Amino acid sequence: IIHYSIHKPGVGIFVLFLFLELRNDRNEYCYLARMRLDRRPDVDPYCQALFPFCPSGDPDGRMPVMRDSDLVSVFRLQTPVWEFRYGDVLGKFHIMHDAIGFGSAKTGRNFTMEWYELFQLGNCTFPHERAGVSAPFWCNQGAACFYDEIDDVHWKQNGSLEKIGEISGEMFNEMARWVQEDNETGVYYETWTVKSDAGANATTWFESYDCSQFVHRTYKKLLDMGADLSSQTPTSYTKIYLYSGEPLHLGDDSIFQQSSTRDLATDIKKFYHSFRSHQSVVEVIESLLEALEKMVLEKTFYFYYNSEYWKLPMKYPYIKINYEEIPLP
């Protein structure tokens, strides 16, 4: 800026203006990206999975090395969430899980690559109330899972399995290295997408970070390496939206440790109490009414993102599950 201000004052003033405009002022952000960490944190033993994460994958997350000259088919995979257990039930609501398949021409081996929760969807959407722990406790890590075979029936019978392109073995190996790095740095699952309204020009306040986002990131990586991906059918994905005015930044877990924010801490924990696990049917009905009262009448949703809490001033239509087309990059 100093250099330009001396030699080309007009450019220096513009760069200074740009710098000031992009300064890190939280509540002026209209979009917050998912935070990247230097390394994936260890998981707390308190977090328990209903089903073991990635049971058929390499325990250390390693991926095979293809011969550079190999020709690897790329498949778009989609099936209802929990299809293994409940078949097409969630498919009726277009609540879908996405993955990518690969097939090596040289070896004839097929592989599945997907990104999902270490401790299931509920744990990534709402926290636990843990005795002796002042702040809500989250078991919200997600990770990539790469394993042998493509279960054609699992993906085809209630979803889709479509070849969308071919890449070289060399491109696959580069992608594999990228997946390892992506997996080490992008670790927290986020169910919700938060927008200003349901219109086409809405502001996205927070982006989800789920199975479909991993698929989008991977397709983009393949495209950046020169892959040509195309689909003969609409490429639609599940998005669950919260609609709100500009989010208000509240802070991190310190909210629950300091006396000055005691009332806020109580209100946040009361909100999440409605979504606690192991409720009876009556309790679930009571909780749902409490949650609707908070979201609709009080127009408030306490949102957790990048390990910090935000207050969403909720707006009609409040919450919506969409199944919308997002073209291949």
Ligand X SMILES: CCCCCCCCCCCCCCCCCC(=O)OC[C@@H](O)COP(=O)(O)OC[C@@H](O)CO
Query: Catalytic residues, which ones?
Result: 97, 211
Angle at 206 (CA atoms; ends 200, 212), nearest 5 degrees: 80
* Out of 78, 100, 114, 207, the residue judged to bind ligand X by CB under 6 A: 114
Q: Which is nearer to ligand X, 87 or 245 (CB)?
A: 87
* Out of 16, 43, 89, 121, the residue judged to bind ligand X by CB under 6 A: 121
Per CB under 6 A, 287 contacts ligand X: no
Question: 3-state class of 262 per DSSP?
Answer: helix
Distance in angstroms (rounded) separating the CA atoms of residues 301 and 286: 17
Distance in angstroms (rounded) separating the CA atoms of residues 288 and 266: 19
Distance in angstroms (rounded) separating the CA atoms of residues 167 and 70: 8
* Out of 255, 295, 312, 314, the residue judged to bind ligand X by CB under 6 A: 295
With b for 16 or more beta-carbon neighbours within 10 A and e for fewer, the 72-94 pattern comes to bebbbbbbbbbbeeeeeebbeee
Question: Using CB under 6 A, which residues numbered 31 to 70 contact ligand X?
Answer: none
Per CB under 6 A, 1 contacts ligand X: no
Per CB under 6 A, 97 contacts ligand X: yes
Per CB under 6 A, 304 contacts ligand X: no
* Out of 15, 71, 250, 291, the residue judged to bind ligand X by CB under 6 A: 291
Strand bridging mode 110-117 / 142-148: antiparallel
**Which residue has tokens 């239509």?**
317
Per CB under 6 A, 150 contacts ligand X: no
Which DSSP string do the residues of 57-104 spell out, in sequence order? B-TT---PPPPTT-EEEEEEEEEETTHHHHTTTGGGGT-EEEEEEEEE
Binding window for ligand X (CB under 6 A); candidates: 9-17, 38-46, 170-178, 287-295: 287-295
Instruction: Report, in Å, the least distance between residue 66 CB and ligand X.
Output: 22
Distance in angstroms (rounded) separating the CA atoms of residues 322 and 96: 11
Binding window for ligand X (CB under 6 A); candidates: 221-229, 243-251, 278-286, 289-297: 289-297
Angle at 188 (CA atoms; ends 264, 200), nearest 5 degrees: 80
Contact 57, 145 (CB under 8 A): yes
Question: Using CB under 6 A, which residues numbered 175 to 234 contact ligand X?
Answer: 191, 210-211
Backbone dihedral region of 266: left (phi > 0), alpha (psi from -120 to 50 degrees) or beta? alpha
Amino acid identity at 1: I
For ligand X (CB under 6 A), the number of binding residues is 18
Instruction: Report, in Å, the least distance between residue 292 CB and ligand X.
Output: 5
* Out of 22, 31, 292, 293, the residue judged to bind ligand X by CB under 6 A: 292
Instruction: Report, in Å, the least distance between residue 71 CB and ligand X.
Output: 26
Instruction: Report, in Å, the least distance between residue 94 CB and ligand X.
Output: 10
Binding window for ligand X (CB under 6 A); candidates: 23-31, 112-120, 162-170, 242-250: 112-120
Per CB under 6 A, 82 contacts ligand X: yes
Residues that bind ligand X (CB under 6 A): 81-83, 95, 97, 114, 116-117, 121, 125, 191, 210-211, 238, 240, 291-292, 295
